[in-house]
Amino acid sequence: MRRVLWCLLLVVAACDTRVDLATVCDVTTCADGCCLFGQCVPVAQQSIGACGLNGSACAACFGGCNAGRCASGACTTCVFNGFCVPSSNDAACGLGGVACAQCGFSQRCLDGRCQ
């Protein structure tokens, strides 16, 4: 009986169910995917709700995701380096899938336009 308990204890001890919260999702840990809530989503598992590459934040692509890139015309914000930006900001401003613009020093991105 002791031997059975000892073997069972070894099997249980070998199982590691801990989650490493120190792992960061970025280009070094997720080069072939995008990051969603700190987890890497590889290209093979991407969908309209999570699309991207190089450890960037996943973008929603309502027209589809093709090899980590939003399908043409699917981006409602702007496109930077072939990727749909999740939300327009001063550094990447635009709407309707156009190339992102960087707003000037005293400008802000409002409704997809530098003002």
Q: Are 56 and 26 in contact (CB under 8 A)?
A: no
- Token pair for residue 100? 């992102």
Q: Are strands 39-42 and 33-36 parallel, antiparallel or unpaired?
A: antiparallel
Using CA atoms, how far apart are residues 59 and 66, in angstroms rounded to an integer?
Answer: 12
b/e for 50-74, b at 16 or more Cβ within 10 A? bbbbebbebbbbeeebeebbbbeeb
What global pTM score does this model have?
0.47
Looking at residue 8, its pLDDT comes to: 43
Looking at residue 7, its pLDDT comes to: 42
Looking at residue 72, its pLDDT comes to: 64
**What is residue 65's DSSP assignment?**
E
- Please list the pLDDT of the chain residue by residue as tens digits (115 residues): 445 444 444 444 444 444 455 578 999 999 999 999 999 999 999 988 888 899 988 887 767 788 898 776 667 888 887 777 888 899 999 888 778 899 999 999 999 899 9
Using CA atoms, how far apart are residues 56 and 79, in angstroms rounded to an integer?
Answer: 13
